[in-house]
Amino acid sequence: MSCSLSAVKICAKIAGRELFRDFSLSLAHKQKLALLAPNGRGKSTLLMILAGLLPASSGQIFIFDDEMKSLKDFEKHRSKIGFLFQDSNEQFVRASVLDDVGFGLLSFELCASKDEADKKALKMLESLGISHLKDKICFHLSGGEKKLVALAGVLITEPKIVFLDEPTAGLDESSSARLAEILGSIDASMLIASHDKDFISKITSNICELE
């Protein structure tokens, strides 16, 4: 099977302190892989490194077999890489739900007009069962609603690799269950950082522990 992402002997230092050393993983095409570790171990840092949002101190990262030698190399794959931040408020770039969800289409020039972006955004909201939120203000939503709107904004560009950082943080049981159901139905490769073993068990049995 071809790999969407491979990381070889990644080392990370934050503020001069070594966080992890020689960490390697492979994410196969359409595979869902959970990255489990307790809080503070370095999951968010690792996800950001693998997504090209932070530099590693050493090691190699391959996206679709193409080596990323610097953060700049990620740019050509940017529209194919989605990142769902732990805090949905960090994800929103527009006030209204419809504008926010369609934003990626316009910023990556995947749509010719705002009208077309709106139509696709509405379709995406419908597919996640949240079209009733389209005219709401992102910051007025509940935690569970915010998470699904943020996910809609990530999925709209049809990314091939999606990084999810603690997707159930702050969600109640029913929102977590709905999110697990949605993620299970998505056909992208996924790396999901979590310490929520129950949630992960609903999505995948592929687990990688950050020791």
Ligand X SMILES: Nc1ncnc2c1ncn2[C@@H]1O[C@H](COP(=O)(O)OP(=O)(O)O)[C@@H](O)[C@H]1O
Q: For binding to Mg ion (CB under 5 A), which residues are involved?
A: 43-44
Name every residue whose Cβ is closer than 8 Å to that of residue 37 and which is 6 or more positions away in sequence.
43, 193, 195, 209, 210, 211
Q: Which of 1, 2, 15, 174 binds ligand X (CB under 6 A)?
A: 15
Closest distance of CB 32 from Mg ion, Å = 19
What's the min distance (Å) between Cβ of 165 and ligand X?
7
Lookup result for tokens 């700049």: 72
Take residue 190 and report the two structure tokens written for it. 């996924």
Helix%, strand%, coil% for the chain, nearest 5: 40, 25, 35
Query: Which does residue 137 bind out of Mg ion, ligand X, none, counting CB within 5 to 8 angstroms by kind?
Result: none
C-alpha 54/C-alpha 41 separation (Å) is 16
As measured in angstroms, the least distance from the Cβ of 170 to Mg ion is 13
Residue (43 or 120) nearer to Mg ion, CB: 43
Q: Which of 5, 7, 19, 33 binds ligand X (CB under 6 A)?
A: 19
DSSP H helical segments within 60-193, as ranges? Answer: 97-107, 114-127, 143-155, 173-185
Closest residue by beta carbon to Mg ion: 44
Task: Considering only residues 27 through 56, tell me which ones interact with ligand X, judged by CB under 6 A.
Answer: 37, 39-45
Taking CB within 5 to 8 Å according to partner kind, which of Mg ion, ligand X, none is near residue 45?
ligand X
Tell the smallest beta-carbon distance from residue 207 to ligand X (Å): 15
Output the smallest distance, CB 54 to ligand X, in A.
9
Q: Which helix (H) or strand (E) holds 19?
A: strand 17-28
* Strand, helix or coil for residue 101: helix
Q: Could you list the residues that contact ligand X (CB under 6 A)?
A: 14-15, 19, 37, 39-45
